[in-house]
Amino acid sequence: DGSCFQSFTLFEQTRRCSSRHQVFSIAVARILITDDDDGMRAMMTAILTMRGHDVVEAQTARAAIQTHRDQPADVIITDLVMKEMDGIELLRRIRAFSPDTPIIAISGDEHGKIYLNMAKLVGAERMLAKPFLADQLLRAVDEVLGVPPVSGERGSASGEA
């Protein structure tokens, strides 16, 4: 009949539509995005807020560390190539005081695959090579939050290095 039931909890939003007989689970999280590229931050913020996430932005690694200390994020997304302090050092410093926070590393630099592999060694849970699709970003966030894939989706974030 096309009617839908929606339930909301602090970390999960579930929508059940009787016409499709499918359940969509979306974890709603506080996400910290760190990237010195204003356009990239704005694009990721738009994608994630449309999904219902609470997004906080940091233009520098130092600002990200302070923001995460003041108000811890559920997920951190960071570029790896930034001025002042790179994303690898940010990963190390975050891991020192917040070892369990999932981190998604992104890079589009010409040496991006090397940086993404380094990020994995330092403790990033997911890696995305720029450019990536909105669906790849959303899937990576869902994966680190433990949200099962929607039926029809397969595997992990395909932008992964």
pLDDT tens digit sequence for 2-44: 444 443 433 444 444 444 445 555 668 999 999 999 999 999 9
What is the pLDDT, as a whole number, of residue 151?
57
The alpha-helical segments, DSSP class H, found in the chain are: 38-50, 61-70, 87-97, 112-122, 134-145
pLDDT (0 to 100) of residue 91: 97
Measured distance CA(52)–CA(49) in Å, rounded: 5
User: 110 pLDDT band (50/70/90 cuts)?
Assistant: confident
| pLDDT tens for each residue of 39-95 | 999 999 999 999 999 999 999 999 999 999 999 999 999 999 999 999 999 999 999
- pTM value is 0.79
SS3 assignment for 18-60: CCCCEEEEEECCEEEEECCCHHHHHHHHHHHHHCCCEEEEECC
Token pair 């039931």 in the structure block, residue: 5
* φ and ψ at residue 31, rounded to 5 degrees: -120, 130
Question: Residues near 39 by Cβ (< 8 Å), separated by ≥ 6?
Answer: none
First to last CA, the chain: 43
Contact assessment for residue 105 and residue 83, using Cβ atoms and an 8 Å cutoff = no
**For 122-143, how does the pLDDT look when each residue is reduced to its tens digit (9 = 90+)?**
999 999 999 999 999 999 999 9
Of 159 and 149, the one with more pLDDT? 149
